Chain A
Amino acid sequence: MAATEQSQPRRTVARTTCYMCACRCGIKVHLEDGRLRYIEGNRDHPINRGVLCGKGSAGIMTAISPARLSTPLKRTGARGSGAFEAISWAQAMRIATERLAAIRASDPGRLALFTGRDQSQSLTGHFARMFGTINYAAHGGFCSVNMAAAGLYSVGGAFWEFGEPDWEHARLFLLFGVAEDHDSNPIKLGLARLKQRGAKILSINPVRTGYSAIADEFLAITPGTDGLLVFALIHCLLEAGRIDAEFLIRYTNAHHLVIDAPGEAGHGLIARDAAGRQLCFDRASGSLLEAQASGTDPALLGTFELADGRRARPAFALLAERYADPQYAPEAVAGRCGIEAAAIRRIAAEIAEVAFNQPVVLEQPWTDAAGRRHAVMSGRPVAIHAMRGVSAHSNGFHTCRAIHVLQMLLGAIDTPGSWRYKSPYPKPIPGGPAPGRPRAPGGPLDAPPLGFPRGPEDLLVDEAGEALRLDRAFSWEAPLAIHGLMHMAIARAYEAGPEGIDTLFLFMSNMAWNSAMNPGETTRMLSECDEQGNYRIPFVIVADAFSSETVAYADLVLPDTTYLERYDCISLLDRPIGSAHGPADAIRIPVLRPDRDVRPFQDVLIDLAGRLGLPDFADEQGRPLYSSYAEYMVRHQRRPGIGPLAGFRGEDGRAIGKGAPNPRQLERYVENGSFWRHELPHEQLYFKHANRAYLAGAKAMGLIEDDAQIVLQLYCETLQRFRLAAEGHGAPRPPPRLRERITRFFDPLPIWYVPLEEAMTDREAYPLHAITQRPMAMYHSWGSHNAWLRQILPENRLYLHRDLAARLGIGDEDWVWVRSRSASLRCRARTMTGVNRDTVWTWNAIGKRAGAWALSHDAPEFRRGFLLNHVISEYLPKEGGAAPQSNSDPVTGQAAWFDLTVCLEPCAPGTPDETSPRWGTNPLRVRQAAENDR
C-alpha cells in the first residue's frame, strides 16, 4: 500500500447528529488532528442503526464547501446584484435589534419570520410567540401539512415522521406517493427487513424510482387520483364485507350517531347527551347510550331517533353508503387512476386476505382504556405509508384522510403488523392548542403561532372574515393551515406592502428559488421598488450557512455555521426522533471550530431575543437569560418540568420526560452518543391510542396532558363545524365568496375531487401531469455545492414514458419545451417505462441560479439544470372578478406543487442547448469594510 509511516495523527471520534437531510441519523465523526477524516453511521442510534446515506457520507465536503458564508453582510448594491459589504457581528446585531425593536414597539405583526427545514421550530416559534407576531411559519406548508393535518385530525398521529410501519410483522406494505423522502434511512432499513421477511411491497406512485424500484408491485397511478383508488379499495372491502367492525366500535367514532337534520345548526354534528358525551345506539338494550361506554353492542347501520326527535345515523352508515356507491367501483375509477379495475380488485383481495386471514397475534397481555385485560395483541398486518405524492395535491388532505379511513376499516392502526405511532404520538385530537393570538397589543401570543383550530372560533380572521396572518393561514382560505403557507409568504408580503410587513426574516430557507413557486416572479417581488427607490418589501434578513439564491436578495445576512460546528436540539417539542418503541430526542454538538466569522443561528436568535428583552428570553429587568442555545436547551422550561430535551432530567439526571433542569444534561447526552431514548415496556407497544398503561405513562412523561382514550376520527366533526358556519350557522362565518368553497371541501367524510388547478386548466391544451421527485443523493438544494454529490446530479432531465416520447417525436437527450398555463421552460428529455403514461417528472431543486452556491459561471446546474417551479404559479387562475386563490389545498393551505399540468413539444433545430428561463447574477461580491468595529 501507498501509506508511508509518519507520526500517528491524533484520532478522536465524536458522536453527533447528521444534518445533510432532515432524517436526523446518529453519526460518528472521526477526526485526525482536529480535521474531518470520516463520517459514518452510529450503530447504537435508533434512527439509522449504523447505516448512513450518500448525503450523510458527503458531509465532509459540505464542511469545506466554498459556498459557506464567512462573515455578516450588509447589502450595498441593488437586491439580487450580489454586492455586499462585510460587517462585524456587532454591527449586524445592532441593525437587526434596532429594526426589530421598532417593529415590536409599533406592530409586532409586521415582522414575518419564516424558517425552512431547520428543526428548531420550537425555538423559532417561541421567539415569534414572545415577539408577538402571528406571522410565523416553517416549511411544512409546502411540504407535508396535508399529511400532518389529516393525520392529526383523524388518528392523532400522522404518516410523515409521526408514524412507521411495523417492519417486523407487516405482510403487505402499501407505499403511496413516497419518493426518497421522510424517513429516508429508516424506510430503507424497513424495506430491507420486509424483503428479508418475504412481505409484499406495493408502491403506488406515478414514477418508479428508489423505493418503488424494489417494490414487488408498482402501480403507475395518475397524479392526484390516489383518493379515488383508496375509495375503490374501500368499496371492494365493503362489498366483500371485509372490515374490522370490532376495531371500529372500540377505537373509532364509527358508531357515534351523526345528527341528520339538514339545514339546522346541529346537522352533521355528533349527537351528545346533556353532559356533552357522544351517543351511540346500543342494540343490546335498544337504547341510546354513551358511545364510549363499554359492554355495549353499538349499531353501525340504521337510523335512530334522538331524545329531541331528530334523526341520527351512525357515522359508519354514512361512510358505507358513500363508498358503496357504484361511482367508486374499481371499474368506475380505473380510467381516471390509470390502473386496471382487475388490478384494483386483486389488491383489495390481497389486503383482505392478509388482514383477515393472516392476523398477527402476539402473546402479550395488555389492558385497554376501559380497563379490560386482553391476553394477546392481535393485529392486521397491512401497513401503509404515504407522503408527498399524496400531500402535494390540492386534494391531499382528503386523500390522506381516505387512507386513514381505510386503515381504520381494516383495524390497521397501531396493531401488530400495521402502521404504528411513533412517540410522542398519538396525541389527543386535535393535537394541541388553537393558534396563538396577541393577548394585548404588543404583547406575546397566548399560544404558539401555529396551532390546531377546533372550529371557526379559532380562526385568525377579522370582522369581515378576512385573514389576519400574512400568509392567510387559519383564515377561511386555509382554515386548518397548521404549518402556515410558506410558499405564499413573499407574494403576500409583496401584496401587503410596507404597511403590512416591514421585515421578512428568513432562516435556512431558499424562498427566492427552489422553495418558491414561480421563482422569477418571486425574485421580482423581492426587488421591486417604488419611485423613491424604496423596496415594496422594506427589509429582508436572511440567516443561512451558504450562499443560496436567496442570500443575494437580503439586506442583512447573518451567516450560520454548518451542522458540525454548533449545538442543535432535536426536541420532543418539535420534530423528535421517537419511534414506535418509545420517545427519543437528540442533540448536535460542535465537532469543528468555525474557521470563519460565523455564529450558530440559534445563538444569534437567542441573543437577539435577549437584546429585545422578549419574555422567556430576558428577565424582568430586560437582562438576557441565556448566553447560548446550549444553555437554553438545558435551562429553558416550556412548562414546569418540560424543556427542550426530555432525557436525563431532574437534579440527578434520572427523570424522563418531565423533571427539573439538569445542569449536566448535555454531558449526559454526549456520553450517550448525543441522543436519549426511552424503551417502552412491551405491554405499551401497540394500541397506544387505547392502551391504558401507555396513556398513563405518556402522561407521566409529559408527552400528553390527558390520558383518556384517543378516539380515532373516522368521521371528522371538526370539518362539519366549518361547513355549518358556511351554511350560516354560528360565528364567525366565511365571507360570501368563500362559502361555497367551505361547504364543498369541509366534508366530514373524505371526498375526492379533481385537483383545483387541474380542474381550472384546459386539459386538451395541457394534457400531461408534471411532478418532481426527490433524488436520494441530494436533499433539495443542499447538495449542489458539495463536490461529491454534484458529481452525481449536477443537472437534471425531464423524464417521460417511451410511448409518449415516441408519440411526440422526442428522443433521449432531446431538448424540449414544457409549457404550462402560466409559463414555459426548456430542458432536456430522457425516456423510460417506469412512469405513468400521462406524466412527466424531474428531480427536485437541481437547477440553480447563476452566481449562487459558489459554482463556476458555466456550471451544469445553471446551463442544463432546471426547476419545474418556473412553470408553476402560486396563484390559481382568476375566476370572475375575484382575486385569485393561492395554489393550495383548500383545507390546509398545503402548496399544490403536483397539480401542475403541461404540454410538451420538441425544440426546433438550432435552439440553444441551454435551459430556459435562465437568470444570472454575479457571484457574491463582498467588499471588506474599511473600519471594523468588532
Chain B
Amino acid sequence: MSTLPERPPGAKRLGLVIDLDTCVGCHACAVNCKEWNTGGEAGILPDYDKYGPEPDGVWFNRIHSYETEEGGCSRTVNFPRSCLHCEDPLCVTVCPTGASYKRAEDGIVLVDTDKCIGCQLCSWACPYGARELDEKAGVMRKCTLCVDRIYDESVPQEERVPACVATCPSRARHFGDLADPESEVSKLVRERGGADLLPGLGYRPTNKYLPPRRARIPTAPAKPPAPGAKGIGAALLGLLDKALSR
C-alpha cells in the first residue's frame, strides 16, 4: 500500500551508515550491488548500449566525487548515493498503484515490480535520485537493502548484510538497525555526527552519512634552524656521543 504503514513498537529501521571519511570512491559497492541484484529477486538491472557509444544502465548505487572548500582548505569527498529508506518517503505515498511500499517490520522501501505501471512519479518525488526506470521492463527499480540476502538463512550469519556493505574495501559502509540506540550503527552516528541528507525537505532518511574528519599529530612548533648552522648539528653529535651497544 502506498499509505505508510503503522510502525509497530520496537520495529526496526534497517539502513546504512556511510562513512565519507573513508570512502575512496572505488565503485566496489555500486558494481557489487549491480551484480547481486541483477540476478536476485530485484530482477535484472538492465544495461543499454553495452558496447556502443552511450553505455548506460540501471544502478541502485552511484558514486560521485566532489571537491570541497572550507576556510581555504580543499579536499576530495567521494559520495555514494542510493535509496535512504526514508521514514517519510514521498516516493511511496505518491505511488498510484501501491507498487511502492514501506515495510512495517523493518522500514525497507521496496517496489513490487508486478504492480508497477512505470508512471515514474516516484522518481520525481525522490530528492535523492534513488529510483531509476528499467527501460526494458518498464518498471521502477531501486535499492532493496538486499532484502533477499539479509534475511536468507542459507547465507552465513555474518554475511547477511547488503552486498555493498559486505564488499566495501575501505569499510566505509555499515549496516544495522538505526531504531536501536545501542546498535553499532547508532553509536557510530552519535560518535561521528552522522548527518541526514537534505534534512530540510523532511523525508527523514534512515541512512546516515558520517562527515570527513582530519587526524592531527600535535608537535611543538618547528624550530627555525639556527642561523649559520652548517654540517652535522650539535644535536646529532650529542646523540652519537653516547655509547652504543651492538
Contact = CB atoms under 8 A, between A and B. Distances in A.
Indicate yes or no for A touching B, C-beta below 8 A.
yes
Interface of A: 1-3, 32, 37-41, 43, 48, 50-58, 60, 66, 171-172, 180, 184-185, 188-189, 191-193, 195-196, 198-201, 208-214, 216-218, 238-243, 245-246, 249-250, 255, 283-284, 293-298, 300-301, 320-321, 324-326, 329, 331, 342, 345-346, 348-350, 352-354, 776-777, 785, 787-792, 794, 832-834, 854-856, 858-860, 863
Contact of B240 (A193, A296, A301): A301
A185 B216 CA distance: 25
Q: When A and B form their complex, which 5 residue pairs have the shortest distance between CB atoms, in order from nearest?
A: A241-B235, A188-B169, A213-B76, A345-B222, A54-B27
A1 B42 contact: yes
B53 A54 contact: no
B69 interface: yes
Nearest to A326: B230
Nearest to B214: A216
B169 A52 contact: yes
Nearest to A793: B27
Contacts of A189: 169-171
Interface stretch (B9-17, B28-36, B82-90, B176-184): B28-36
Contacts of A60: 35
B216 to A, nearest CB: 7
23 contacts: A40-B32, A40-B167, A48-B169, A52-B169, A53-B169, A57-B28, A58-B31, A171-B217, A214-B22, A214-B212, A216-B214, A240-B235, A243-B236, A295-B246, A301-B232, A331-B225, A346-B222, A350-B217, A776-B26, A785-B51, A787-B47, A791-B59, A834-B67
Interface string B115-126: 000000000000
A301 B244 CA distance: 12
Nearest to A862: B53
B232 A324 contact: yes
B166 A329 contact: no
B235 A300 contact: no
Contacts of A2: 41-43, 112-114, 139
Contact of B246 (A32, A293, A788, A863): A293
Given A52-B32, A214-B23, A331-B225, 17 more contacts: A1-B41, A1-B147, A41-B167, A56-B28, A210-B24, A213-B24, A240-B235, A246-B245, A295-B245, A301-B240, A324-B230, A345-B222, A777-B26, A787-B50, A788-B34, A788-B47, A790-B51
Contact of A239 (B74, B217, B233): B233
A559 B244 CA distance: 62
Contacts of A863: 53
B26 A1 contact: no
A326 B232 CA distance: 10
A872 to B, nearest CB: 27
Contact of B170 (A171, A192, A199): A192
Contacts of A201: 215
A321 B170 contact: no
Contacts of B28: 51-54, 56-57
Contacts of A37: 39
A606 B9 CA distance: 67
In this complex, which of A53, A217, A346, A785 has the most chain B Cβ atoms within 10 angstroms of its Cβ?
Answer: A53
Nearest to A785: B51
Nearest to B76: A213
Contacts of B139: 2
Contact of B51 (A55, A66, A346): A66
B222 A349 contact: yes
A301 B236 CA distance: 10
In this complex, which of B21, B75, B233 has the most chain A Cβ atoms within 10 angstroms of its Cβ?
Answer: B75
Contacts of B67: 832-834
Contact of A297 (B26, B39, B233, B245): B245
Interface string B191-223: 000000000000000000000101111111010
Given A57-B167, A284-B243, A859 B53 contact: yes
A348 B237 CA distance: 19
A860 B54 CA distance: 8
Given A2-B42, A214-B22, A255 B246 contact: yes
A245 B244 contact: yes
Contact of B244 (A218, A297, A787, A833): A297
A894 to B, nearest CB: 27
B238 interface: yes
Given A1-B112, A57-B28, A346-B222, A856 B51 contact: yes
Contacts of B220: 349
Contact of B172 (A38, A192, A293, A321): A192
Contacts of B148: 1, 3
Interface string B95-121: 000000000000000101110000000
B239 A245 contact: yes
A834 B244 contact: no
A833 B74 contact: yes
Given A43-B158, A52-B28, A833-B67, A185 B232 contact: no
A525 to B, nearest CB: 30
B53 A342 contact: no
Interface of B: 21-28, 30-32, 34-36, 39, 41-43, 47, 50-53, 55-57, 59, 65, 67, 69, 74-78, 110, 112-114, 139, 147-148, 158-159, 163, 166-172, 212, 214-220, 222, 225, 229-240, 242-246
A64 to B, nearest CB: 10
A240 B75 CA distance: 32
Contacts of B219: 346, 349-350, 352-353
B51 A329 contact: no
A284 B242 CA distance: 11
B246 A296 contact: yes
Contacts of B246: 249-250, 255, 293-298
A791 B56 contact: yes
A220 to B, nearest CB: 10
Nearest to B144: A1
B235 A239 contact: yes
B21 A214 contact: yes
A350 B215 CA distance: 12
A855 B217 CA distance: 50
B113 A1 contact: yes
A455 to B, nearest CB: 27
Contacts of A198: 215
A621 to B, nearest CB: 50
A188 B26 contact: yes
A576 B32 CA distance: 26
In this complex, which of A171, A188, A245, A342 has the most chain B Cβ atoms within 10 angstroms of its Cβ?
Answer: A188
A777 B43 CA distance: 24
A649 to B, nearest CB: 31
Contacts of B39: 32, 37-38
Contacts of B171: 51, 189, 192-193, 196
B26 A321 contact: no
Contacts of A40: 32, 36, 163, 166-167
B72 to A, nearest CB: 11
A249 B246 CA distance: 6
A249 B32 CA distance: 50
Contacts of A301: 232, 237, 240
A210 B26 contact: yes
In this complex, which of B32, B238, B246 has the most chain A Cβ atoms within 10 angstroms of its Cβ?
Answer: B246
Contacts of B166: 40-41, 50-51
Given A40-B32, A54-B26, A324 B53 contact: no
A352 B220 CA distance: 11
A241 B239 contact: yes
A776 B25 contact: yes
A745 B138 CA distance: 66
B18 to A, nearest CB: 13
B194 to A, nearest CB: 15
B25 A210 contact: yes
Contacts of B238: 241
Nearest to B114: A2
In this complex, which of B169, B230, B235, B244 has the most chain A Cβ atoms within 10 angstroms of its Cβ?
Answer: B169
